Amino acid sequence: MVEVAQTVRIEVLTGLSRKTSRIIRNGQIEAGKVWGVCRDALKVAMTEHGKWPNRDALQKLTKGRFGLHSQSAQMVCHAFLANVDTARQLRQSGRKDIRYPYKDKRFYSLMWPAQAMALDGKRIVLPMGRGRESIVLPRPEWLAQPSACKIVWNRIGYELHVTVGTEIESAMAAGAQATVDLGQIHQCAVTTSTRKGLIVSGRGIRSEKRRLNQMHGSIAAKMTRCIKGSRRWKKLSRARNGYALRAERRIRDLRHKGTRQVIDFCRHNKVSSLYIGNPDGVRSRRSGRHHNQRMSQWEYGRDIDYLTHKSRQAGISSFSGTERGTSSRCPECGHKHKPSGRVWACKVCGFTGHRDLVGSINMHEIAFGEKPTFPVSKEVTYLRPGTAARRVLDRSSRPDTGHRSSASRPVLLHGSQDATTDTVRAPQGTGHILASPSEALPL
């Protein structure tokens, strides 16, 4: 029996007519009103200590009151309840700062289930309800049958997010075990029970976010000297939104490529069980406004989601848990101290190793009850997101410094050392490979 997983493909909607854009905009306003009604019902139940509204209650409360297709209004109710369930789970896990939905939403994404979408030749027809004009969009070539979808505003235009099914590989037989330590300087650090290691750089993501923050500060300073709503103010706003959207696409692309390299590495080393460390809690420590900004923008939750989804598609069982105390404990003698820099040096036994790999190797004891031997340097692979991982999984490249590699820069490669100099040329194509902005990226 073949299992099917749900993924999302993104299609940028360009060239929409004013009429279609107006229908979408009005529909999003109506969807925001549906969200507001659900929010008010929950607020009343919380205030009066009554029974919280369930799916049937919210669907009955919103039925026939808004300018939407009935199933579109129902999906907004379902999304609201999913938001409530997520907030409840986080609060039960100790996150008391998490609030239940309380904000007004002037706009909300339009959503349709698969049975509401209609395919008419080269067109997609999305109904807006009886007596109202439907939304007609061009049909992508890859869309073979009706699927659940939603229309999302991305600051400068609309996108169509379509849920499609992909076949999942059969589960792997019992094999090696691996753990993943998530970070910022290095996106992922992986160690296996077979003494293999992988480090995926996160410097490209950090650089993109740093440039994005600088852009926001520069344009905000210029907008303060403008009258709100003026032509100059609108021009700056469009420029800011366009740059932010491009940066987000690049960051998302790098995150997908980095997590894909982790899964390819696990498949190459026949890993059947993957433990993903959850660094939740590190944001509570205050370390200055610059570091606090970097921590607040660290999207480790997306890395966990991407790894979970990709490992499932590859037939690898995965689960997430705490990583508390793993980066400050020596994997050899257990001595604890706070390391500085990227090299973990024990003051007691003299052990040295990569700081992120130390955190990953110590997770084996939490996840699987046993700790393997720390991988030697020649068994550790260093990659950047976008590197052709399949070509270098059998060897280790140089430790990542965040700079584009040069063909003349010597690096150590396992199994290819020169007998006299112990160096060879760096592999080609190790720079960042960015996807096209209009490329549909599976989530």
pLDDT digits (tens, 9 = 90+) for 275-332: 999 988 777 777 788 888 888 889 999 999 999 999 998 989 999 998 888 888 999 8
Contact 323, 363 (CB under 8 A): yes
Tokens for 199? 């480090």
CATH number of this structure's domain 176-202+258-425: 3.30.420
What gap in Å lies between CA 52 and CA 335, rounded to an integer? 50
What gap in Å lies between CA 297 and CA 221, rounded to an integer? 21
Q: pLDDT tens digits, residue range 358-393?
A: 999 999 999 998 888 999 888 899 998 876 544 444
Between 287 and 344, where is the model more confident? 344
Q: pLDDT tens digits, residue range 84-141?
A: 999 999 899 888 889 999 999 999 999 999 999 999 999 999 999 999 999 999 999 9
What gap in Å lies between CA 180 and CA 277, rounded to an integer? 6
- Is residue 437 very low, low, confident or very high in pLDDT (cuts 50, 70, 90)? very low
- Is residue 169 very low, low, confident or very high in pLDDT (cuts 50, 70, 90)? confident
Tokens for 263? 């899964």
Checking if the pLDDT of 148 tops 70, the result is yes
Q: What is the pLDDT of residue 167?
A: 77
What gap in Å lies between CA 441 and CA 154, rounded to an integer? 15
Checking if the pLDDT of 155 tops 90, the result is no
Contact 181, 323 (CB under 8 A): yes
Q: What is the pLDDT of residue 324?
A: 86
Q: pLDDT tens digits, residue range 248-260?
A: 999 999 999 999 9
Q: What is the pLDDT of residue 398?
A: 45
Q: What is the pLDDT of residue 387?
A: 63
What type of residue sits at position 247? A
Checking if the pLDDT of 247 tops 90, the result is yes
Q: pLDDT tens digits, residue range 209-245?
A: 999 999 999 999 999 999 999 999 999 999 999 999 9
Checking if the pLDDT of 440 tops 90, the result is no
Long-range contacts of 77-81 (CB under 8 A, 24+ apart): 77/34, 77/38, 79/111, 80/35, 80/38, 80/39, 80/42, 81/38, 81/54, 81/55
Contact 437, 248 (CB under 8 A): no
Tokens for 185? 């300087």
- Is residue 2 very low, low, confident or very high in pLDDT (cuts 50, 70, 90)? low
Q: How far is CA 267 from CA 28, 38, 277, 279, 345, in A?
A: 43, 44, 19, 24, 31
**Which of 430, 332, 367, 330 lies closest to 192, judged by CA?**
367
Angle between helices 231-268 and 203-223 (to 10 degrees): 170
- Is residue 403 very low, low, confident or very high in pLDDT (cuts 50, 70, 90)? very low
- The mean of the pLDDT values for the chain is 85
Checking if the pLDDT of 424 tops 60, the result is no
What gap in Å lies between CA 105 and CA 212, rounded to an integer? 26
End-to-end CA distance of the chain: 24
Q: How far is CA 404 from CA 202, 204, 252, in A?
A: 13, 10, 20
Domains of the chain, by residue range, sit at 3-168, 176-202+258-425
Q: What is the pLDDT of residue 386?
A: 72
Q: How far is CA 158 from CA 154, 242, 244, 259, in A?
A: 6, 13, 15, 27
Query: Rounded mean pLDDT of 135-151?
Result: 94
Query: Rounded mean pLDDT of 41-69?
Result: 95
